[in-house]
Amino acid sequence: MKLQLPNPDLDSRVLSHQELEVLETTEAGDRPKWDNKTQYMLTCVGFCVGLGNVWRFPYLCQSHGGGAFMIPFLILLVVEGIPLLYLEFAIGQRIRRGGLGVWSTIHPYLSGIGVASMCVSLLISLYYNTIIAWILWYLFNSFQDPLPWSQCPLNANATALLSECARSSSVDYFWYRETLNTTAFLEDDGGLQWWLVVCHISAWALLFLCISRGIETSGKAVYVTSTLPYLVLTIFLIRGLTLKGSLDGIKFLFTPDLAELAKASTWLDAGAQVFYSFSLAFGGLISFSSYNSVHNNCEQDALIISAINGFTSVYAATVVYSIIGFRATERFDSCVSGNILALLNGFELPEGSITGTNYDQIFTELNQTNSALIDTLSLKKCSLDTFLSEGVEGTGLAFIVFTEAITKMPFSPLWAVLFFIMLFCLGLSSMFGNIEGVLVPLQDLKLFPKKWPKEAVTGVTCLLCCLLGLIFVQGSGNYWLSLFDGYGGSVSLLVVAFCEMVSVVYIYGIDRFNDDIVFMIGHKPNIFWQIMWRVISPAVMLFILIAFIVDKVSEDLIYKSWDPESDVFPALVEYSYPSWIYAVIIALAGIPSLFIPCIAIFKCLRNLKRNKSDIEELHAAKMGLPDPLPDLLGGGGSSSAPHGAGHRSEAPHGQHRRVELHVAVPRGSRCGLHAGVLAGGAVLQHHHRLGPLVLLPLLPESTSLEPVSRQRQPHRVCERV
């Protein structure tokens, strides 16, 4: 049983396979194209593989049983990530439009999907480029020896270390005070931080230079931004494996805790990670694939990029935990050394009698014979597993954990420069796709004058985004960034992805989609793809969406603050969001998704109103009243016909005469006018949206009309035969 929702006049909006072949030839010098397949693949890899692969995936592995997390991750990679990636590649390549044009072509009521994708891409671009600004700040400061975050600064009198730094650590102080200059509360904006403003402007300027002419410039940049991170990761892995404790970190990462598989949160986090790591539903991948040849093997592309993405996540986690293992070992050794010194002094033992090797044995003996004295020494609890399990997510992993580990390496400035160059490349290559998901829909919406060059459109967009993003470089900017990151794309992306899958399978039609793929790559998608697209993938996405919403609704709305005045300092203190922030959260999470039904309802009501007007005009024509419709055929009415105007040229009765119907046709669409003759000499014009309209008599009853040419042109010519 085949289920497909009604979709009238789809053929008039979608090019046939033959027309697609012709279009690819005629647009050779008009539409941008990739220089080669490598450039396209590197761009997609750079967009999909981003900062989340380096700092979110390792944290999730550590939080959900190490190697056990790989099981749901790989399962959902297959049933959720790869099918949707293949679908986006194929539909973009087939329809040859951006993230907005594809869905409006499938059905005008689906334009909201493209608008929602654009809004999410915009929201994420605003704060994502702020992270790149932070990376630039650290990169600039890495060209110093010693590194500025390796030691605490002195106070104003130069007599002691600054209290805030001495009570915490040098890396924490540099991040929260020297970089963010964070305020204690979200309500206190703290003003713009000029050094971050400079880095913020620099980040947007660099992005503009890379994308100013679309894929013509960004396609060149990806040769560096998409490959350099792998080189740096490999260098760090080689270096990490030479450090003490690195193997302990890797072992900890891959040691499975199978009990985690029974927890719903493990599967939910795995599904969300697969979704985000592929950058699905942003619209960027659809735009990228639309620049391909119509016969590009998009199925192969989806499989290759999926394999690269999954491998990168595991590879990056291995590198990260080799460094975390080294850091944990350093902290463990420091903890043990402090306890050894306390024991030597407390029991007045000779120096060297307690070492790291025999510490556990001697401590046990002393604790059995003189536990009272042991209690007075305030010894720290030293556990390597505890230090390894102190997972830090996101910015904390990059700007605190890694920077602390780097300070303990020889030639630390060199490693710092390499690390932040890698992060910069990962962030910038992801921004290429994010901003593409904004620019292409803006052009489809015709919000900029048509005469504006690509550079001007890109420049204005980047400038506006730069100004809007200044909220993230205030003293409270880190709190706003966490808010946008938590609610700005999560729910909306899941909604968009679900709508994309349903739209292609049940509105565009899975049979038509299969035929398109046969035309493009030469064979029909196998049974695996059919089951995934029709049932499994939409069901999994719907489940994750519902579970995600339930999880977000039930969690406490709190933010973590660096507050030197709090009792728990240097630990982060938790504060509740102010009540007005709920409106911001609802707007961030709900508005992009609401574009989907709202635009559909608006277009439906508008069409109902237009159809009512057309029916009234038809009745007026039948009653012999003044009729505006002859304008379509060159009459003198005052109103213009829908989608264009026409003119009629006639010769005297009985002679050969020619009638031209001129119709404005959207780019990529086929002519929607068909003409014929009814009894009594009335001409029947059939419009692709309005249906049949009876016009004024034109020709004798014995005359018939048919198209002269069926080519894809902005008008269709009819003549007497």
CB-CB contact of 211 with 398 (8 Å): no
32 versus 529: which is more confidently predicted? Answer: 529
pLDDT of residue 262: 84
CB-CB contact of 196 with 125 (8 Å): no
Mean pLDDT of the chain: 82
Domains plus CATH for the chain?
Answer: 10-331+390-552+559-602 (1.20.1740.10), 626-720 (no CATH)
Q: Which pLDDT band, with edges at 50, 70 and 90, does 5 fall under? A: confident
Q: For 625, list phi and psi in degrees, rounded to 5.
A: -80, 165
Report the run of H or E that residue 707 belongs to, with start and end: strand 705-707
CB-CB contact of 603 with 611 (8 Å): no
Give the sign of the dihedral formed by CA 472, CA 476, CA 479, CA 483. negative
Report the run of H or E that residue 165 belongs to, with start and end: helix 163-166
Q: CB-based contacts of 670: which residues, under 8 Å, 6+ apart?
A: 11, 12, 13, 15, 16, 19, 712
pLDDT of residue 276: 79
Average pLDDT score over residue span 369-386: 83
pLDDT at 683 over 70: no
Strands laid side by side in the 705-707 sheet = 647-648, 658-662, 715-720, 705-707
Q: Which pLDDT band, with edges at 50, 70 and 90, does 665 fall under? A: very low
| Pairing mode, strands 647-648 and 558-561 | unpaired
Query: What tens digit of pLDDT does each residue of 640-661 get?
Result: 344 443 444 444 444 434 344 4
Task: Extract the annotated binding site.
Answer: 46, 49, 53, 277, 309, 426, 430
pTM: 0.81
Average pLDDT score over residue span 442-458: 87
pLDDT at 685 over 50: no
Convert 35-67 to b/e letters by CB count within 10 Å (16 or more is b).
Answer: eeeebbbbbbbbbbbbbbbbbbbbbbbbbbbbe
Q: How far apart are CA 208 and CA 215, in angstroms?
A: 12
Long-range interactions of 512-519: CB distance < 8 A, separation 24+: 512/10, 513/90, 513/91, 516/17, 516/90, 516/94, 517/90, 517/298, 517/299, 519/17, 519/20, 519/294
Which percentage of the chain shows pLDDT scores above 90? 39
Q: Which pLDDT band, with edges at 50, 70 and 90, does 475 fall under? A: very high
Query: What tens digit of pLDDT does each residue of 173-209 get?
Result: 999 999 999 999 999 999 999 999 999 999 999 999 9
Query: What tens digit of pLDDT does each residue of 409-424 get?
Result: 889 999 999 999 999 9
Task: Extract the annotated binding site for Na(+).
Answer: 46, 49, 53, 277, 309, 426, 430
pLDDT at 469 over 70: yes
Whole-Å CA distances, 281 to 113, 406, 433, 501, 581: 9, 36, 11, 10, 26
Closest C-alpha among 299, 282, 309 to residue 529: 299
pLDDT of residue 524: 95
Question: For residue 44, what are its two tokens?
Answer: 């997609």
610 versus 165: which is more confidently predicted? Answer: 165
639 versus 328: which is more confidently predicted? Answer: 328
SS3 226: coil
Question: For residue 562, what are its two tokens?
Answer: 């660096």
pLDDT of residue 405: 87
Question: For residue 210, what are its two tokens?
Answer: 């890379």
pLDDT of residue 66: 78
